[in-house]
């Protein structure tokens, strides 16, 4: 059994006590005194006026700090001492801005000169490229012309060789024409008689009859020429 339920049952079973309350309020005796309130803390009961003054002080300090920061670093990004007045600060800022404007103008002029120089160099590069292309075309034309000249020289050489060969062949054919021989029934020259002198011996006569006939000079020269050509 649950103990809580058992206590509840015991409470219900107990008889109620009879209380006789007094009919008048004066008859009641007050024996309970509430405890006194604890003393207030110093921070919880500070006056509102010092708090407002501290707020004003913090605000004034922040505004002075912002003014100091504005004076220290201007819109131009240059540090300025806080001791300068607003007029001096304005004059100094104007001079700084004028200096920056002059610097920007100088930079713009330098950029313009750089652009002009770039355009000039680009034009030179284009011209150089055009000259290079023309040089390549001239080189190709010269190569073709030299090739044609070489072919022409080769053709002329071949033509000269052909002419020389043909002339040699014609010459050979002219020298090798057969000489017409006499037919068996042609007229023969009469035999020449050899007169024998008394001083000639029989051996001399036999040697003169055995000597072969000599060839003509024309035939001899023709044979020598052909022999030299074949060599």
Per-residue pLDDT of the chain (231 residues; tens, 9 = 90+): 555 555 655 555 565 666 666 666 666 665 556 556 666 665 544 444 445 555 555 555 555 544 444 445 556 566 677 777 888 888 888 888 899 999 999 999 999 999 999 999 999 999 999 999 999 999 999 999 999 999 999 999 999 999 999 999 988 887 655 555 554 444 445 444 444 444 444 454 444 444 444 444 444 455 455 545 544
Does the residue 75 lie in any domain?
yes
Q: Whole-angstrom Cα distance, residue 106 to residue 98?
A: 12
Global model pTM greater than 0.75: no
Helix H segments across the chain?
3-13, 48-72, 86-175, 202-210, 217-230
Residue 58 pLDDT: 55
For 122, phi then psi, to 5°, come to -65, -40
1, 12, 15, 16, 100 from 4: Cα distances, Å: 9, 13, 19, 20, 90
Does the residue 46 lie in any domain?
no
Does the residue 156 lie in any domain?
no
Does the residue 69 lie in any domain?
yes
- Structural domain boundaries, residue 78: 55-84
Does the residue 151 lie in any domain?
no
Q: Whole-angstrom Cα distance, residue 168 to residue 160?
A: 12
Does the residue 30 lie in any domain?
no
Look at the chain and report how many structural domains it folds into. 1
Residue 210 pLDDT: 45
Does the residue 222 lie in any domain?
no
Residue 119 pLDDT: 94
Residue 75 pLDDT: 61
Does the residue 66 lie in any domain?
yes
Residue 101 pLDDT: 93
């Amino acid at each position: 059994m649950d103990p809580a339920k058992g206590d509840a049952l015991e409470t219900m079973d107990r008889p109620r006590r009879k209380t006789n309350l007094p009919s008048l309020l004066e008859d009641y005796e007050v024996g309970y005194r509430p405890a006194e309130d604890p003393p207030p803390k110093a921070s919880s009961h500070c006056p509102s006026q010092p708090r407002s003054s501290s707020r004003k002080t913090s605000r004034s300090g922040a505004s002075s700090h912002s003014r100091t920061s504005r004076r220290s670093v201007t819109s131009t990004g240059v540090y300025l001492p806080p001791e300068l007045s607003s007029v001096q600060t304005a004059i100094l800022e104007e001079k700084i801005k004028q200096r920056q404007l002059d610097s920007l103008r100088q930079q713009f002029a330098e950029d313009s000169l750089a652009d002009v120089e770039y355009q000039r160099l680009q034009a030179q590069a284009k011209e150089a490229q055009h000259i290079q292309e023309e040089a390549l075309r001239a080189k190709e034309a010269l190569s073709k012309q030299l090739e044609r000249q070489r072919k022409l020289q080769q053709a002329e050489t071949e033509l000269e060789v052909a002419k020389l060969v043909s002339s040699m062949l014609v010459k050979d054919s002219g020298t090798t024409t057969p000489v017409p021989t006499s037919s068996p029934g042609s007229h023969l020259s009469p035999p020449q008689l050899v007169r024998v002198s008394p001083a000639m011996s029989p051996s001399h006569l036999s040697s003169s009859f055995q000597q072969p006939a000599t060839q003509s000079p024309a035939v001899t020269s023709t044979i020598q020429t052909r022999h030299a050509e074949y060599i």
